[in-house]
């Protein structure tokens, strides 16, 4: 099970003009202190036809993350219109929020996005070249699609165990400067048990 | 008896059922839609029909879909705080109830059925490489055991998850059942390898391997849940065979005999469960009370879909219920009062059986049960004591404090989760009194955003609740965003919900539909609701565009929800730095040590050391490091050789006969290094050779001429002693003034030590003397070493003098003695071969601070032995009670040794460990004696011989330190209160 559970994502500033930044308020809960940051990304799907047109709008690190419930607002600029196929500018597409830990994606939250002209005239007779200034973006906030992936949260688990298994006692018990006993001859047998004298 | 037909609306297989120790709820585990499923149910509707009909009483309390695959076992901890579950996803999860008010559902889940109680996974235990089949909490929840199809059993430290105590290996087939001995001595496991194994908990080794009753068994059952009787006398297996018929094998604890079995089921027995109560025959009114033997009661479930209940006092089953289910019985659980029984089946139902006392008998109360245990097992039933203690009322507020501290220490992971009371202030702290709504309005502006070194954005999330609190408004879930003028944002939502009511069967499910309970997404389901969503959008935008043309690309979009995108490769993960620090330290150590070692060996060839000298080591008593160096020729300052700090610079060295100048540099402190330099035969005056002793520190220096060749010199901060070839000993002050005329020794000097104003001399004739040159008295008068040397061919290997003037002599046979001048005896203080040392284990009594305080003469003599003993204790197979006794003896020896060595800091150190050990192991009498000695008489009386101090430490101060240790064990709360009060009384005087 994941150490991080997303409890809620609220879509802010929605609907909004196409050029406005995306804003998601994310609430998540973490079971234990995370030694590393979470990486969140917003991906805008430019075209349903191909992943080629996916744009990563932004990625942020979120941390430090101690155990507990946290929230933050993830704001990212609107997609680069130049990278969107003109035929796909208007209509339904998808925006994805993903979170990775140690380079592994463990949750993907998807929303349908409907881009449409607010102006009735434009709606009925959309221009060939999309007029992004007139487009309104509407995220279907009520129906997030959440997919969770099983990842290895421990990353370097073996390493950590090793260091735990080192018995600290010998170091603690012995003064660091002590040198091996050296006994003179004449039947005085050196005895290692007295190392510390 | 009464049989309630199952009402639980579940159709997926249920593999496990367990009633909570408080009897108010029970958990089931099994298959969910596309995941494993743990469900917590309310018990009341099962017990009472009117509650079942009452719609205000919830039946289902919480559903957890976190297991990725089927859940095979759910078990409550004995204290009822935790639920452990194990599943086909190879994981064991530990659940804890969150102090959450109000219902919630899983984010993104299609199920909107709210959970009444919040159970949160607080720990995931990963180790098994195959499906986890059974989990079991040990008596008093010290360990959690899990078994798996990977053929192993893992024992987890339930007080320090996810620490693994031991992995039990030995089964050669899928391990399908576990049961702890109620006394805590054993754990038994049954596997498909046709064996039942009993393991000891003291060393986790195999106690016995029983194969005969299982030789005809095939691996046909999903589980093999065996059970141990509450009196500990019988272990009953699941599936066994006798004369080609399926049985449940009874194994007697005494000799692990297998002479009896439960016969009658037509197919393999999957589960056996003993009633937690021990019963005695119900006394009928009027009949003369006969002494009747107490007996146990056991339920047996089988693949033949029937259930039988047996009493150990009867030859035939008490009751058999056939065809209870459509499929195999998978698990059985008894209510705590022993009169109710829940049975679950692969067919997805749970049945409840209710017995009356007439049928089963009178359950013994806990005291009677303990008495039985006491009779059979003697004192070992601290376990039952502890289970009783859990219900003990804490009578003393101080006690409560220490109990809480202990809990915090034990569960660092849950430190934040002691209780809702303690968290509320924390929460307000976090939120600064602002309401969550206020915070959300400004979150974007207020949140801290920085740039990392490589220019990336990094947001510090706002912590809105500590773990396990969740006392903030549940309205947050699935809430609509609050924005100034956000009324527009809601316009989409109502539209969609109205759409969904008209949507087709694939459409959005109404939120109140209780049958859809799967939050985890399969691609298929994704498509279902995706289409629904598309439909909704489509309908809404019907006016705007021709939806049909747009639906095709939608389906293409669906895959984006579930597939990891190539666009999210993630950042390169930063390598962990954990583990490097200790390594570095080790490296540092060795780098310091190595050159020293070289110096030692090189000087070997240079030094030609004379008669009977002994390797001389200066023991700096205050725990500082000592470095000694011998070098021919010029004095050389070697930075590496300098110890870090030493409060009392001391000088010591050993001189070679050949009139070489020896330098000894010993100790560095703020006031610099002291050099003691000896030059033999500096000049010859009228036929006699003169030797010179030079002393220097920070530019100050003095020298003294002696008429004979110097063989040994030693010094402390206060005095310098020099022994000459003519068997004289001269003692000077640190300023070079002769303190006493030459002492004539009975034999040539063998070893000489100075410590503060004490001088110790070991002569070649094996006698020891110690003088206090300040008071000019003898502490030890020419005492023979014969008592310690006779009978052995051992020789003196080391010797030193403590700061308190106690002489310590070590022999080559590993024994170390000190001379006790008040008793005028030699006392053994350390023995390398001592088996007690080898087998002790008190590590859990040593706190972090203790490790630092253990420096002193005792540690110096024993240092290595101790750690060796600790390692040995982990490997050796010493029985626990033996080890306990050995540890006790060892600790008492340490305490008395510290006393004899007059080492106050070590005395205190071992006293605290000793107290902790007594508290942990429950030695009340010794603890009481210890406290009494530390407290002394409360009222002054002249006849009392009680000393208020020991080694300069005030005993009552020590008691003040010991009391918090005692306060950590509830069992000793009376003792705690008693001494706490008396101390308080004395303080007021």
Q: Which residue of A has its CA nearest to B452?
A: A61
The pLDDT-based confidence of B673 (bands split at 50, 70, 90) is low
| Predicted confidence (pLDDT) per residue in A134-170, tens digit | 999 999 888 888 887 878 887 643 333 333 333 333 3
**pLDDT-wise least confident of A181-190, B39-48, B310-319, B971-980:** A181-190
Give the helix ranges, DSSP H, for chain A. Answer: 120-124, 157-165, 169-173
The residue that leads in pLDDT, A108 or B535, is A108
Contacts of B530 in chain A (CB under 8 A): 145
Q: Which of B386, B153, B286 has its CA nearest to residue B921? A: B386
Contacts of A169 in chain B (CB under 8 A): 851, 866-867, 870
State the average pLDDT over residues B846-864. Answer: 63
Global ipTM: 0.75
Q: By CB neighbour count within 10 A (0-12 exposed, 13-18 middle, 19+ buried), where does A111 fall?
A: buried
The residue that leads in pLDDT, B708 or B401, is B708
B663 with B694: CB under 8 angstroms? no
The alpha-carbon gap from B533 to the nearest alpha carbon of chain A, in Å, equals 7
State residue B841's pLDDT score: 66
The residue that leads in pLDDT, B942 or A115, is A115
The alpha-carbon gap from A34 to the nearest alpha carbon of chain B, in Å, equals 12
SS (H, E, C) A109-146: EEEEEEEEECCHHHHHCCCCCCCHHHEEEEECCCCCEE
State the average pLDDT over residues B222-246. Answer: 91
Q: Which residue of A has its CA nearest to B91?
A: A1
State residue B191's pLDDT score: 93
A36–B573 C-beta distance less than 8 A? yes
Distance CA B670, CA B668 (A): 7
State the average pLDDT over residues B65-80. Answer: 89
Counting residues of chain B whose pLDDT is more than 90, the rounded percentage is 14
**pLDDT-wise least confident of A123-132, B304-313, B579-588:** B579-588
Best residue of B560, B578, B657, B851 to probe chain A, by most A CBs closer than 10 Å: B560
The alpha-carbon gap from B755 to the nearest alpha carbon of chain A, in Å, equals 14
| Predicted confidence (pLDDT) per residue in B713-753, tens digit | 888 878 888 888 888 888 888 888 888 888 888 888 888 88
B255-260, long-range: CB < 8 A, 24+ apart: B256/B198, B256/B207, B256/B208, B256/B210, B258/B210, B258/B212, B258/B213
B122–A186 C-beta distance less than 8 A? no
| Predicted confidence (pLDDT) per residue in A110-143, tens digit | 999 999 998 888 888 888 888 898 999 999 888 8
The pLDDT-based confidence of B391 (bands split at 50, 70, 90) is very low
B938 with B985: CB under 8 angstroms? yes
B24: helix, strand or coil: coil
Distance CA B225, CA B189 (A): 9
Comparing CB atoms, the residue among B456, B467, B560 nearest residue A61 is: B456
DSSP string for B675-717: EEEEEEEEEEETTEEEEEEEEEETTEEEEEEESS-EEEEEE-S
Best residue of A59, A148, A158, A191 to probe chain B, by most B CBs closer than 10 Å: A191
The alpha-carbon gap from B437 to the nearest alpha carbon of chain A, in Å, equals 12
Say how many CB pairs under 8 Å bridge A and B. 368
DSSP string for B556-584: HHHHHHHSPPTT---PPPPPP-TTHHHHH
Comparing CB atoms, the residue among B447, B613, B867 nearest residue A173 is: B867
State residue B405's pLDDT score: 64
A190–B537 C-beta distance less than 8 A? no
Contacts of B479 in chain A (CB under 8 A): 8, 10
> Mean pLDDT for chain A?
77
* Predicted TM-score of the model (pTM): 0.45
Contacts of A193 in chain B (CB under 8 A): 810, 814, 830, 832, 864-865
Homologous superfamily, domain A4-148: Histone chaperone ASF1-like (2.60.40.1490)
A175–B855 C-beta distance less than 8 A? yes
Counting residues of chain A whose pLDDT is more than 90, the rounded percentage is 29
Q: Which residue of B has its CA nearest to A152?
A: B126
State residue B3's pLDDT score: 53
Best residue of A143, A155, A167 to probe chain B, by most B CBs closer than 10 Å: A143
Comparing CB atoms, the residue among B483, B492, B627 nearest residue A177 is: B627
- Greatest mean pLDDT among B324-338, B669-683, B830-844, B861-875: B324-338
B459–A60 C-beta distance less than 8 A? yes
Comparing CB atoms, the residue among A36, A41, A140 nearest residue B537 is: A140
State residue B114's pLDDT score: 59
The residue that leads in pLDDT, B949 or B73, is B73
A72–B462 C-beta distance less than 8 A? yes
State the average pLDDT over residues B771-798. Answer: 84
B301: helix, strand or coil: strand
> Mean pLDDT for chain B?
70
Contacts of A37 in chain B (CB under 8 A): 458
Distance CA B391, CA B393 (A): 6
B541–A114 C-beta distance less than 8 A? yes
State residue A38's pLDDT score: 94
Q: Is the pLDDT of residue B262 over 80?
A: yes
B626–A177 C-beta distance less than 8 A? yes
Q: How many residues does chain B have?
A: 989
Number of H helices, E strands in chain B: 21, 52
Counting residues of chain B whose pLDDT is more than 70, the rounded percentage is 63
Distance CA B887, CA B881 (A): 10
Q: Which residue of B has its CA nearest to A30?
A: B467
A141–B489 C-beta distance less than 8 A? yes
What is the Cβ-side half-sphere exposure of residue B745, based on CA atoms within 13 angstroms?
Answer: 28
State the average pLDDT over residues B687-703. Answer: 78
Contacts of A166 in chain B (CB under 8 A): 582
State residue A24's pLDDT score: 94
Q: Is the pLDDT of residue B779 over 90?
A: no
- The conformation of residue B480, written as its DSSP 8-state character, comes to P
Comparing CB atoms, the residue among B68, B557, B796 nearest residue A45 is: B557
B460 with A40: CB under 8 angstroms? no
A68 with B465: CB under 8 angstroms? yes
How crowded is residue B432: how many other Cβ atoms within 10 Å of its Cβ?
8
The pLDDT-based confidence of B394 (bands split at 50, 70, 90) is low
**pLDDT-wise least confident of A79-93, B471-485, B805-819:** B471-485
Q: Which residue of B has its CA nearest to A96?
A: B561
Q: Is the pLDDT of residue A192 over 50?
A: no
Q: Which residue of B has its CA nearest to A62?
A: B459
The alpha-carbon gap from A188 to the nearest alpha carbon of chain B, in Å, equals 6
Comparing CB atoms, the residue among B557, B562, B597 nearest residue A180 is: B597
Best residue of A184, A185, A190, A195 to probe chain B, by most B CBs closer than 10 Å: A184
State residue B147's pLDDT score: 95
């Amino acid at each position: 099970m994941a150490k991080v559970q997303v409890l809620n994502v609220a879509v802010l500033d929605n609907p909004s003009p196409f050029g406005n930044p995306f804003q998601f308020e994310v609430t998540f809960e973490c079971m234990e202190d995370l030694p590393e940051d979470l990486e969140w990304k917003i991906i805008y799907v430019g075209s349903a036809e191909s992943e080629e047109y996916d744009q990563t709008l932004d990625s942020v690190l979120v941390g430090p993350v101690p155990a507990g419930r946290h929230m933050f607002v993830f704001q990212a600029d609107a997609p680069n219109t130049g990278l969107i196929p003109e035929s796909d500018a208007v209509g339904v597409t998808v925006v994805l929020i993903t979170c990775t830990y140690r380079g592994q994606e463990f949750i993907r939250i998807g929303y349908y996005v409907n881009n449409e002209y607010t102006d009735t005239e434009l709606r009925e007779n959309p221009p060939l070249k999309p007029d992004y200034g007139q487009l309104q973006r509407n995220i279907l906030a009520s129906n997030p699609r959440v997919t969770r992936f099983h990842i290895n949260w421990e990353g370097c688990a073996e390493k950590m165990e090793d260091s735990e298994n080192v018995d600290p006692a010998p170091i603690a018990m012995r003064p660091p400067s002590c040198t091996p006993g050296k006994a003179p001859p004449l039947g005085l047998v050196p005895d290692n048990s007295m190392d510390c004298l | 008896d009464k049989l309630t037909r199952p009402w639980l609306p579940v159709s997926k297989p249920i593999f496990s059922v367990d009633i909570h120790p408080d009897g108010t709820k029970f958990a089931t585990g099994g298959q969910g839609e596309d995941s494993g499923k743990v469900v917590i149910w309310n018990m009341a509707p099962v017990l009472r029909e009117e509650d079942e009909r009452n719609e205000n009483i919830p039946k289902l309390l919480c559903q957890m879909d976190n297991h990725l695959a089927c859940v095979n076992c759910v078990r409550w901890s004995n204290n009822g705080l935790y639920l452990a579950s194990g599943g086909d996803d190879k994981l064991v999860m530990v659940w804890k109830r969150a102090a959450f008010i109000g219902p919630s559902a899983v984010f993104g889940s299609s199920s909107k059925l709210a959970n009444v109680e919040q159970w949160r996974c607080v720990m995931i235990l990963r180790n098994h490489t195959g499906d986890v089949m059974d989990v079991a909490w040990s008596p008093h929840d010290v360990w959690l055991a899990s078994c798996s199809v990977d053929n192993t059993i893992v024992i987890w430290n339930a007080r320090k998850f996810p620490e693994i105590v031991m992995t039990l290996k030995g089964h050669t087939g899928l391990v399908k059942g576990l049961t702890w001995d109620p006394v805590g001595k054993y754990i038994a496991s049954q596997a498909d390898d046709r064996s039942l194994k009993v393991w000891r908990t003291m060393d986790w080794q195999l106690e016995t391997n029983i194969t005969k009753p299982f030789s005809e068994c095939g691996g046909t059952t999903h589980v093999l849940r065996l059970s141990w009787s509450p009196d500990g006398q019988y272990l009953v297996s699941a599936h066994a065979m006798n004369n080609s018929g399926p049985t449940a094998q009874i194994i007697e604890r005494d000799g692990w005999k297998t002479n009896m079995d439960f016969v009658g089921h037509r197919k393999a027995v999957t589960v056996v469960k003993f009633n937690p109560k021990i019963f005695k025959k119900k006394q009928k009114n009027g009949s003369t009370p006969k002494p009747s033997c107490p007996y146990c009661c056991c339920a047996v479930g089988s693949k033949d879909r029937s259930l039988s209940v047996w009493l150990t006092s009867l030859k035939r089953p008490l009751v058999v219920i056939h065809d209870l289910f459509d499929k195999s019985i998978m698990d059985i659980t008894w209510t705590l009062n022993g009169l109710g029984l829940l049975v679950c089946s692969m067919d997805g139902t749970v049945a409840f059986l209710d017995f009356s006392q007439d049928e089963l008998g009178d359950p013994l109360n806990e005291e009677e049960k303990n008495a039985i245990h006491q009779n059979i097992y003697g004192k070992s039933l601290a376990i039952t004591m502890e289970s009783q203690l859990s219900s003990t009322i804490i009578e003393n507020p101080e006690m409560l404090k220490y109990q809480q501290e202990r809990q915090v220490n034990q569960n660092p992971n849950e430190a934040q989760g002691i209780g809702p009371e303690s968290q509320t202030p924390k929460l307000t702290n976090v939120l600064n009194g602002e309401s969550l709504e206020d915070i959300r309005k400004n979150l974007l502006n207020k949140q801290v955003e920085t740039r990392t070194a490589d220019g990336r954005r990094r947001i510090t999330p706002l912590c809105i609740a500590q773990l396990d609190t969740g006392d903030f408004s549940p309205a947050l879930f699935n809430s609509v965003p609050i924005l100034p003028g956000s009324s527009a944002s809601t316009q989409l939502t109502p539209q969609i919900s109205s759409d969904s009511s008209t949507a087709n069967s694939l459409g959005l499910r109404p939120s109140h539909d209780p049958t859809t309970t799967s939050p985890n997404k399969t691609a298929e389901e994704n498509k279902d609701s995706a289409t629904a969503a598309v439909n909704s959008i489509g309908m809404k935008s019907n006016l705007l565009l021709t939806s049909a043309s747009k639906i095709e690309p939608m389906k293409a979009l669906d895959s984006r929800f579930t597939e990891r995108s190539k666009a999210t490769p993630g950042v390169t993960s930063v390598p962990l730095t954990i583990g490097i620090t200790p390594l570095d330290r080790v490296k540092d150590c060795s780098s310091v040590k190595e050159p020293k070692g070289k110096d030692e060996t090189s000087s070997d060839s240079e030094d030609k050391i004379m008669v009977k000298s002994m390797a001389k080591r200066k023991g700096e008593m205050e725990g500082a490091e000592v470095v000694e160096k011998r070098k021919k020729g010029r004095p050389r300052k070697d930075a590496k050789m300098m110890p870090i700090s030493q409060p009392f610079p001391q000088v010591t060295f050993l001189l070679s006969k050949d009139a070489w100048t020896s330098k000894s540099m010993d100790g560095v402190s703020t006031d610099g290094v002291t050099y003691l330099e000896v030059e033999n035969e500096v000049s010859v005056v009228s036929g006699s050779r003169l030797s010179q002793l030079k002393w220097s520190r920070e530019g100050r220096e003095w020298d003294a001429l002696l008429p004979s060749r110097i063989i040994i010199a030693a010094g402390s901060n206060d005095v310098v002693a020099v022994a000459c070839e003519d068997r004289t000993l001269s003692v000077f002050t640190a300023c070079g003034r002769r303190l006493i005329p030459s002492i004539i020794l009975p034999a040539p000097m063998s070893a000489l030590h100075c410590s503060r104003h004490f001088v110790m001399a070991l002569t070649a004739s094996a006698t020891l003397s110690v003088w206090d040159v300040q008071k000019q008295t003898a502490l030890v008068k020419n005492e023979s070493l014969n008592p310690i040397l006779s009978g052995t061919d051992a020789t003196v290997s080391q010797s030193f003098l403590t700061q308190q003037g106690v002489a310590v002599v070590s022999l080559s046979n590993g024994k170390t003695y000190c001379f006790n001048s008040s008793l005028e005896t030699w006392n053994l203080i350390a023995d390398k071969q001592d088996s007690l040392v080898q087998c002790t284990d008190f590590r859990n009594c040593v706190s972090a601070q203790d490790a630092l305080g253990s420096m002193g003469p005792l540690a110096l003599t024993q240092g290595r032995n101790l750690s060796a003993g600790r390692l040995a204790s982990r490997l050796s197979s010493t029985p626990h009670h033996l080890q306990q006794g050995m540890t006790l003896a060892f600790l008492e020896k340490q305490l008395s040794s510290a006393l004899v060595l007059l080492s106050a800091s070590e005395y205190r150190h071992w006293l605290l460990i000793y107290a902790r050990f007594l508290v942990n192991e429950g030695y009340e009498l010794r603890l009481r004696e210890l406290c009494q000695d530390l407290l002394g008489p409360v009222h002054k009386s002249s006849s009392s011989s009680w000393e208020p101090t020991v080694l300069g430490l005030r005993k009552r101060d020590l008691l003040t330190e010991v009391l918090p240790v005692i306060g950590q064990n509830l069992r000793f709360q009376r003792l705690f209160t008693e001494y706490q009060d008396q101390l308080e009384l004395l303080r007021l005087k």
